[in-house]
Amino acid sequence: MEDSERFVTRLAPLTLAVKNMAGPQSVYHEKAKEVRAERVQPGVITLYRRDDLVRVNRHPAVLGAGGRGGNFGNDNPLIPLEIDGEDHKKWRRLLDPLFAPKQMTRLEGLVRKRAAELVEGFAGEPAAELYEAYCIPLPCLTFLEFLGAPAEDLEFFIGFKDGVLHPQGNTREQIRASQASAGAALFDYFAGFLGQRRADGAVGDDVLSVLLRARIDDQPLSDAELLNIIYLLMFAGLDTVTASMSCLLAWLGQHPYERRRLAEEPASIPRAIEELMRYESPAPSSIRYATADIDLGDGLTIRAGEAIHVSWAAANVDPTAYPDPLRVDFDRGRFHHLAFGSGVHRCLGSHLARLELRVALEEFLARIPDYTVDTDGLVYDNVSVRTVQQLHISINALVGG
């Protein structure tokens, strides 16, 4: 599939229908209730129900990229997202331990320190804009710390990161050119760190140093491979955490009972995060590719060569899978959501994302337990990620205030 076709696939009709909706869950719910699958574009099938998504993502004939790659201003497949088969297994065996829960606990102190500093920066004000002041910088600072890059480069990094993930332009060609320019600048930026780490002997415990010491098939990783891993970590880890933070803070700002409960019972925050991730689905969908016919039963067959548009957002409010799925219930039992995907391409950084979200809410609610969201000023974008791009709040009460 050519780049232009991949671009169009991402803007599926359902995606366009909910593009700027504050509450798309009812639309996703109705779709999952009434329609199991649709073919609304040539060569593309969209799946809406949880069981089908899980089966497809675990099927050996389904690929995450199908040999395609080269997107977001980068001409090479993103490792390991756009790698399949045995090569994908090799890369996940290398990368998964770096994102294991035990490794994430080592980051918690740094994440907490950054979160506290950011909240203190606006906690004394009567109002704040949380998207710019909190949701963007915290994941970016965590990412830089994770790699071993200096926090002083935050503004520079955000500028080029946004150029890749939120490119300017009105045509496909303009968007691709904008991404390519920002992508080249980011590659140059991180290439400098590779040289510096090599010169230092790669003795640190940051991810970049660990990867410089790593080997695949008894060979060290090439600079191109290292840069593509970094590129994926940025693409997959920054906007999704920013989006998740914005959605969770916006929802809590509009539901004072649940917010007070979390402020008074911070031990409930991890359960609340899981339920809100199910409900909000910050990564609404993904693309997979079928290499053979796949019979899902009851007359539904995915055809070999088709692109599979998997709607995580619809599956997460699928009434055939969840009781009363449009109700947010922090005490919901163990109903596993698909906010982090499913199968071999399940989100590599899910443990890091959970850590960031937990610490972000703990530090915020510990200082600002009572706030009001300007609902008229909320600006949602539900295309590649569901995010609240303008999140103005009034601060009603401070701890100790």
Burial status of residue 55 (CB atoms within 10 A of its CB: 0-12, 13-18, 19 or more): middle
Contacts of 149 (CB under 8 A, 6+ apart): 157, 190, 193, 208
Q: Is the pLDDT of residue 160 over 70?
A: yes
Whether 17 and 31 have beta carbons less than 8 Å apart is answered as: no
pLDDT in tens, 205-242: 888 889 999 999 999 999 889 988 988 888 777 889 99
Which two structure tokens, joined as six digits, stand for 254? 């509009």
pLDDT in tens, 120-159: 999 999 999 999 999 999 999 999 888 888 888 888 888 8
229: left (phi over 0), alpha (psi -120 to 50) or beta: alpha
CATH number at residue 133: 1.10.630.10
How many independent structural domains does the chain possess?
1
* Cβ atoms within 10 Å of 324's Cβ, excluding its own: 10
Task: Name the pTM for this structure.
Answer: 0.92
Instruction: Please report which confidence band the pLDDT of residue 11 belongs to, taking 50, 70 and 90 as the band edges.
Output: low
Q: Is the pLDDT of residue 201 over 90?
A: no
pLDDT in tens, 26-41: 999 999 999 999 998 8
Q: Is the pLDDT of residue 9 over 50?
A: no
pLDDT in tens, 351-367: 999 999 999 999 999 99
Q: Is the pLDDT of residue 1 over 70?
A: no
Averaged over 110-120, what is the pLDDT? 97
Instruction: Please report which confidence band the pLDDT of residue 112 belongs to, taking 50, 70 and 90 as the band edges.
Output: very high
β-pairing, 307-311 vs 379-381, is unpaired
d(CA 298, CA 292): 18
Q: Is the pLDDT of residue 4 over 50?
A: no
Q: Is the pLDDT of residue 69 over 80?
A: no
Q: Which domain holds residue 353?
A: 3-397
Average pLDDT over the chain, rounded to whole?
A: 89
pLDDT in tens, 239-271: 899 999 999 999 999 999 999 999 999 999 999
Which two structure tokens, joined as six digits, stand for 307? 């692109």
Instruction: Please report which confidence band the pLDDT of residue 71 belongs to, taking 50, 70 and 90 as the band edges.
Output: low
Contacts of 12 (CB under 8 A, 6+ apart): 40, 41, 44, 46, 285, 309
Instruction: Please report which confidence band the pLDDT of residue 111 belongs to, taking 50, 70 and 90 as the band edges.
Output: very high
Residue among 100, 176, 190 at smallest CA distance from 144: 190
Structure confidence at residue 5 (pLDDT): 36
Structure confidence at residue 316 (pLDDT): 98
Q: Is the pLDDT of residue 198 over 90?
A: no
Structure confidence at residue 48 (pLDDT): 97
